Structure 1
Amino acid sequence: MTPQEISTAQLAAQITAQLTTAIMLLDSQLHIRYFNTACCAVLGLGEKRLSEQYFPELFQHIDISTEHFAGAIAAKQGFSVSDVQAVLADGRHLLLDISVTISERPAGYLLLELRQVDQQRKISLESLQQHQHLAARELIRGLAHEIKNPLGGLRGAAQLLEESLSDDLKEYTQLIIAQADRLRNLVDRLLGPYRAAQRINSNLHQMIEQVRQLALMDNPSAVQFSRDYDPSIPDFAFDPELLQQALLNIVRNAQQALEHTSEPAICLQSRVLYQHTLHGKRYKLVAMIRVTDNGPGIPAGIRDTLFYPMVSGKAGGTGLGLSIAQTLIHQHGGWIDCDSWPGHTEFTLYLPIADTED
């Protein structure tokens, strides 16, 4: 059949079917009237599942509301949104760039272009966050040095002064010494762990179970813990004490986030990943630990700076726990990632097991 013998509609259908960008046509009630093959690939759904489906019902959660679409139809004005978090009905998480155009024929229809950007954005975000994290750590170390020197002099002067004071005045020098010690402890916490990781061949699940037992001992919200471990993860070299501290910080945060959640639950999961890239290096084997809770989610305003020191979503929080956890995982050549939406938050720890590829 020659191009002249193919109708315009048939030609358009053939072209859109071959596009790698997912194309979807919605009517004014947001039911799917057309989709190309790329939609099935991006959403991981078959043609029967997508046909005539009500678009919002494809997702447990998506950052774009139905009111957003209705406003676009009413104003006859399309829009584009980047980094849209979408959670499919089966729990899979996608990061999408979505462009919406108002169709003239048929009138009132919405033409959606969906581009999956998970992997590219994750790699660039990991690189950016790594550099920002290291820069923040260096800044803190410099500030800590400038603070600890005069603080030590202040404390020493207070001790010398105390020797020449009567007992009724010593309470003031003791107050100075106590506050100087408190500030020094805060600075030490900002600096994180004193020692480098001392790696020994250890069992990952044994360490996770120790964290679970510690969390259960102090569990005021009666959080229900579940486990989903991958028995194929081999023993490998890591520092059990430092890794336990990092994981416990994350689990404690999850417990606190669930304080006002009915039926609070945390799932501890482990998996082994093959040919996984961390910090620009590809590893044959990587261990993954995931901590998932059903709390309210992390406020959007702090997600990008979540691992920075002094950033916290809790009233009265110091914002040191996650920063220290990221530093401890960094010492193992790993990385901590976070995904969150209302009703679901997951922190994922990646730890290299095998050497990098030659």
Structure 2
Amino acid sequence: MSHNTFNSNDVLESLSTSVLILDSALRVSYINTATEILFEISQRQAENIPLQTLLPGEKKLFKSLERVVSTGQALIEREVHLFLPASGEVLVDCSIKVLDTDDSYVILELALLDYQQRISRDENLHTQQQVVRGLAHEIKNPLGGLRGAAQLLERQLDSEDLKEYTRIIITEADRLQNLMNRMLGPNQQPEKRHTNIHEILQHVRQLVDIEVDERLKFKIDYDPSIPDLFADFDQLIQIFLNIVRNAVQAMHGVGLIILRTRIQRNITIEKQYYRLGVLVEVEDNGPGIPESLQDSLFYPLVTGRADGTGLGLYLVQNLVQRNGGTVSCSSKVGQTIFSVTFPLEFGRER
């Protein structure tokens, strides 16, 4: 491939890794799109400002940067905790090296670790779902025969006491059949059309408003510039209705739910790369999700409620995947955020 067929700036802009080019005084000379998103600052706003302004209070990273400036030797720092004013604490791997063409500039690369972990979790979860669906099919098939045999037996019995036992078999078979149907998820394929995400969120809000009182507040934080998604309208309502109702139940109907939308750039979903996507966040200020449940939250039959089936979030994951998206959750006491990302274009292999 000749060097004329691509532009090096285009390559930098398409990276999901944050790249900052700094001068020897550690002032910002350039940031790529991934950095703009991470720090919520534009290239124009960032130019010539000290890196210390973007990372107030940071010490360890600056010592490493100063060492690279003085020695010229590259450094890699693993699992560095950084506090970003825009988005709070993040865990990153840092790579620092002097720019080959000019010793007076330093390249700082920040790779978000939770992004890689999420990709790994999504792949793992997808495998688990395939196993569960296979198992549900295997259980569902003999249940029909079991129910039919119990009905035939009931017709042959004269004793009402004995018929009570066959009715229990039929009732329990129906209950298990219903559970298996829910585990298998919706049968129909998504009927995708151009869909306004804010129309969906407003509809969900109206549905939930009917079920709660004034002790539950909604706050909206929408990016009005987001174009329409190509997705199934009804399935998206089901996704966000499940997530919002989950939050309401966790807070016992008292607290604040924030519905937030943002454009995302340079995302990877199921090994497909997309230049643009939409991020929808449902945030609540409830008690948080127990740490023991956080890694298995989207697995079937996992629940933190005594009366729960543990299928609500499993079905959310299923429907999100059917519509080409990905879902994740971060939670601590006082702040739980469900993040759902959908692509806004056709993807390509990464």
- TM-score (ref. length: structure 2): 0.69
- RMSD of the alignment, in Å? 3.3
Q: Which residue of 2 aligns with 1:278?
A: 269
Change (3 A) 1:202 1:182: same
- What do residues 91-119 of structure 1 show as CA deviations (whole Å, max 9, x unaligned)? 5342368xxxxxxxxxxxxxxxxx99762
Equivalences for residues 316-331 of structure 1 within 5 A: 316-331=307-322
Equivalences for residues 169-318 of structure 1 within 5 A: 169=161, 170-219=163-212, 222-259=215-252, 264-318=255-309
- What do residues 279-330 of structure 1 show as CA deviations (whole Å, max 9, x unaligned)? 3322132111100000121222221221111222223322211111011111
Equivalences for residues 53-202 of structure 1 within 5 A: 92-95=88-91, 119-122=112-115, 124-166=116-158, 168-169=160-161, 170-202=163-195
Paired residue for 1:346, among 329, 337, 350?
337
Q: Distance in 2 between matches of 1:90 and 1:200?
A: 34
- What do residues 250-272 of structure 1 show as CA deviations (whole Å, max 9, x unaligned)? 11111111128xx6100011112
Q: Distance in 2 between matches of 1:43 and 1:258?
A: 37
Size of the aligned set, in residue pairs, is 274
Partner SS, residue 259 of structure 1: coil
Q: Distance in 2 between matches of 1:353 and 1:240?
A: 15
Q: Distance in 2 between matches of 1:323 and 1:82?
A: 30
Q: Distance in 2 between matches of 1:281 and 1:145?
A: 29
Following TM superposition, by how much is the alpha carbon of 1:230 offset from its aligned partner in structure 2, in angstroms? 1.2
Following TM superposition, by how much is the alpha carbon of 1:223 offset from its aligned partner in structure 2, in angstroms? 1.3
Partner SS, residue 194 of structure 2: strand
Q: Does structure 2 conserve the Cα–Cα contact (< 8 Å) formed by 1:189 and 1:320?
A: yes
- TM-score (ref. length: structure 1): 0.67
Partner SS, residue 145 of structure 2: helix
Change (3 A) 1:196 1:235: same
Task: Please tell me whether residue 44 in structure 1 is matched to residue 54 in structure 2.
Answer: yes
Partner SS, residue 238 of structure 1: strand
Q: Does structure 1 conserve the Cα–Cα contact (< 8 Å) formed by 2:267 and 2:275?
A: yes
Following TM superposition, by how much is the alpha carbon of 1:214 offset from its aligned partner in structure 2, in angstroms? 1.2
Following TM superposition, by how much is the alpha carbon of 1:87 offset from its aligned partner in structure 2, in angstroms? 6.7
Q: Does structure 1 conserve the Cα–Cα contact (< 8 Å) formed by 2:317 and 2:326?
A: yes
**Any gaps of 5 or more consecutive residues in structure 1?**
1-14, 19-39, 52-80, 98-114
Following TM superposition, by how much is the alpha carbon of 1:248 offset from its aligned partner in structure 2, in angstroms? 1.1
Q: Distance in 1 between matches of 2:173 and 2:132?
A: 18
Partner SS, residue 305 of structure 1: coil
The residue type equivalent to 2:188 in the other structure is R
Q: Distance in 2 between matches of 1:41 and 1:92?
A: 16
Partner SS, residue 303 of structure 2: coil
- What do residues 138-186 of structure 1 show as CA deviations (whole Å, max 9, x unaligned)? 2112211221122111100111112222372433322221111001001
Q: Does structure 2 conserve the Cα–Cα contact (< 8 Å) formed by 1:96 and 1:116?
A: no
Q: Does structure 2 conserve the Cα–Cα contact (< 8 Å) formed by 1:284 and 1:357?
A: no
Give aligned-pair identity as a percent.
Answer: 40
Q: Distance in 1 between matches of 2:249 and 2:204?
A: 15
Following TM superposition, by how much is the alpha carbon of 1:347 offset from its aligned partner in structure 2, in angstroms? 0.6
Q: Does structure 1 conserve the Cα–Cα contact (< 8 Å) formed by 2:92 and 2:112?
A: no
Q: Distance in 2 between matches of 1:356 and 1:216?
A: 36
Change (3 A) 1:255 1:118: farther
The residue type equivalent to 1:229 in the other structure is Y
Deviates more, 1:320-329 or 1:165-174: 165-174
Q: Distance in 2 between matches of 1:178 and 1:258?
A: 34
